[in-house]
Amino acid sequence: MFDAERIKCVADVTRAQAAVRPDAIAQVFEGRQTTYAELDRRASQVAQALIADGCKPDARIGFMGKGSDRYFEMLYGAFKAKAVVVGVNWRLAAPEVAYVLNDSKTEILFVGAEFYDLIEKVLPECPTVRKVIALDGGRNDWQSFDDWRDAAKAEDPMLPAAPDDDVIQLYTSGTTGHPKGVQLTNANYISIFKQGAGAGWANWGEDDVVLVCMPLFHVAGVNIGILGNLHGCRNVILKDVDPQVILQLIESEKLTIAFMVPAVILFLLQQPNIGEVDVSSLRQILYGASPIAEDVLRRAQETFKGAGFVQLYGLTETAGGATSLPPDAHDPAKGKLRSCGIVSPDMEIRVVDENGKDVPVGEVGEIVIRGGSVMKGYWNRAEATQDAIRDGWFYSGDAGFFDKDGYLFIHDRVKDMIVSGGENIYPAEVENALFGHPAIADAAVVGVPHEKWGEAVKAIVVLKPGEHATHDEIIAFAKTRIASYKVPKSVDFIDALPRNPSGKILRRELRAPYWEGRERMVN
């Protein structure tokens, strides 16, 4: 269980485990095993190396890489040095990567081998980045992570930590077309620890083996790794989500805990050998980041019979915490399978109308959240922060309702965000890219149902008079401007977009035909 006396800040996680279980395995990655004593010692080396490289408290350091044990060494080292880890989404296009590095004023950048070429390309545009560390070595011009770390002394700097210190900065897509840096603090993570313990979904112990497979630029990927270490578990880290590798690891490593987005659960169920794999070790499957189809959930429950299922609802801005749907509520007879659960300890949730007033039970409104894991704010975005957090309440942009039993249901999105395979995509970003096409006069982007990804991006385009462009040409053009997961999967052509008197696109009207016959306009 979470020990509030031993854990006052996130830097204490490895310190505490190294003190009581130094020889226990903390993490496993591609044949490499690291004990808790080694993890804590290497974190101290990273901290000293950062300090030697001139990183002052609150300095931003970037990470752009796939899943790796080195990430957690870097992360805990940054915590000890009071540096702030900026997660860079490796699915972004080069201009978007440069934007994140410049916006965050990243000073030292840790890069995985898959992204050496991309970073080399954008570095001239990123004047604040003064050092690049090659996580996997192999570069003559950049120091390898292992050499850089091992040149430093293994002495914990023991810098004083405050609850309000930023520790992680993750970028979330913005409605204005630019992502915003979400500032997460020590206090936010202490709240996540309390939520997991208080709600019971993180009742993990020293015998548990935790799958860490989600991208580490996502709050869910980071949190599962930290929580596994907090509880002294053995974390098994994957570089990429690979359904066959996951099935192999369930059997070979006797995994007991796994967090997966619904799309990954679906991928596992689609594997032809799923029925031949011994999955009996799994005792808990957590899922979230996007809604799950009820049919997929039922099939997963049937396949992973020994596992209790827990849905977690939260946003990057709430450090991933807000509600949980416990295992007993996953009984189909209780009628809660479409719910995202009950309010977590240390959190409050209301459903409000456009004037901020509470709506009656069963009535749809915007979900607003207050509590310990709500972000400090958006980095250098005072106006955006004030718009998002009003009188202490974070306005989520999600629309939902409470039932009479206090279970929260997501109905739709107040904002226009599309969730595809667990990735957040804002139409404005895609529309901005499309408007650069010489044949396009007007464009709108909406999310439409997709069996695999939950939602897919659809562009609805108005061409300029006398101009011609095909579906394939528009998609190819978009691929040069934005990350591939944001690129429209399909394009429809229309004579004029529906707009209200002030000129705002009536997105709901555009979406409606594609969602006809469905109970809710999220998938």
Do 435 and 464 form a contact (C-beta atoms < 8 A)?
no
Helix (H, G, I), strand (E, B) or coil at 54: coil
Q: Cα-Cα-Cα-Cα dihedral of 462, 466, 467, 471, to 10°?
A: 60
Assigned token pair, 514: 């594609």
- Is the pLDDT reported for residue 500 higher than 90? no
State how far the Cα of 318 lies from the Cα of 191, in Å rounded to an integer: 10
Do 210 and 29 form a contact (C-beta atoms < 8 A)?
no
Give pLDDT, residue 503. Answer: 59
More confident residue, 131 or 261: 131
Question: What mean pLDDT do residues 382-404 have?
Answer: 95
- Is the pLDDT reported for residue 518 higher than 90? no
Q: Cα-Cα-Cα-Cα dihedral of 452, 266, 333, 282, to 10°?
A: -160
Is 418-515 assigned to CATH 3.30.300.30? yes
State how far the Cα of 505 lies from the Cα of 12, in Å rounded to an integer: 49
Give pLDDT, residue 412. Answer: 64
Q: Residues spanned by CATH 3.30.300.30 within the chain? A: 418-515
Give pLDDT, residue 81. Answer: 98
Could you report the per-residue pLDDT of 241-273, keeping only the tens digit for each?
999 999 999 999 999 999 998 888 988 998 999
Could you report the per-residue pLDDT of 469-489, keeping only the tens digit for each?
999 999 999 999 899 999 999
Give pLDDT, residue 177. Answer: 63
Give pLDDT, residue 417. Answer: 77
The closest alpha carbon to 328, from 199, 206, 224, 197, belongs to: 199
**What are the start-end ranges of the E strands in 238-343?**
257-260, 284-288, 308-313, 323-325, 339-343
Do 442 and 462 form a contact (C-beta atoms < 8 A)?
yes
State how far the Cα of 153 lies from the Cα of 161, in Å rounded to an integer: 21
Query: What is the 8-class DSSP label of residue 404?
Result: T
Assigned token pair, 303: 């396949």
State how far the Cα of 388 lies from the Cα of 390, in Å rounded to an integer: 6
Give pLDDT, residue 135. Answer: 98
What is the rounded average pLDDT for all residues in the chain? 93
Do 475 and 433 form a contact (C-beta atoms < 8 A)?
no
Question: What mean pLDDT do residues 63-86 have?
Answer: 98
Q: Which has the minimum average pLDDT: 77-91, 152-166, 168-182, 325-339?
A: 168-182
- Is the pLDDT reported for residue 165 higher than 80? yes
Q: For 441-472, give the secondary structure using H, E and C.
A: EEEEEEEEEECCCEEEEEEEEEECCCCCCCHH
More confident residue, 284 or 292: 284
Q: Percentage of the chain surpassing pLDDT 90?
A: 79
- Is the pLDDT reported for residue 521 higher than 90? no
Q: Cα-Cα-Cα-Cα dihedral of 513, 515, 517, 518, to 10°?
A: -170
Residue 436: which residues within 8 A CB-CB, separation 6 or more? 477, 481
State how far the Cα of 220 lies from the Cα of 208, in Å rounded to an integer: 18
Question: What mean pLDDT do residues 388-398 have?
Answer: 95
Give pLDDT, residue 511. Answer: 87
The 8 Å CB, 24+ separation contacts for 137-145 are 138/113, 142/111, 142/116, 145/70, 145/74, 145/110
Phi-psi region of 362 (alpha: psi -120 to 50; beta: other; left: phi over 0): left
Q: Which has the minimum average pLDDT: 205-219, 337-351, 447-461?
A: 447-461
Give pLDDT, residue 523. Answer: 57
What are the DSSP calls for 6-52, one per residue? T-SSTTHHHHHHHHH-TTSEEEEETTEEEEHHHHHHHHHHHHHHHHH
State how far the Cα of 50 lies from the Cα of 31, in Å rounded to an integer: 27
Half-sphere exposure at residue 71, Cβ-oriented, CA atoms within 13 angstroms: 32
What are the DSSP calls for 204-256, one per residue? --TT-EEEE-S-TTSHHHHHHHHHHHHTT-EEEE-SS--HHHHHHHHHHTT--
Strands 234-237 and 25-29: parallel
Strand partners, 168: 85, 184
Give pLDDT, residue 505. Answer: 79
Single-letter amino acid, residue 235: N
Residue with the two structure tokens 């990057």? 316
Residue with the two structure tokens 């004029």? 496
Single-letter amino acid, residue 70: R
Do 182 and 384 form a contact (C-beta atoms < 8 A)?
no
CATH code, residues 317-413: 2.30.38.10
pLDDT-based confidence at residue 453 (cuts at 50, 70, 90): confident
Q: Which CATH number fits domain 12-240: 3.60.20.10, 3.40.50.12780, 3.30.420.40, 3.40.50.300?
A: 3.40.50.12780
Could you report the per-residue pLDDT of 83-108, keeping only the tens digit for each?
999 999 998 989 999 999 999 999 99
What are the DSSP calls for 361-403, one per residue? TT--EEEEEEETTS-SEETT-HHHHHHHEETTEEEEEEEEEE-
Backbone angles phi, psi at 374, to 5 degrees: -70, 135
pLDDT-based confidence at residue 467 (cuts at 50, 70, 90): very high
Q: Residues spanned by CATH 2.30.38.10 within the chain? A: 317-413
Question: What mean pLDDT do residues 491-502 have?
Answer: 82
Strand partners, 235: 27, 210
Half-sphere exposure at residue 82, Cβ-oriented, CA atoms within 13 angstroms: 13
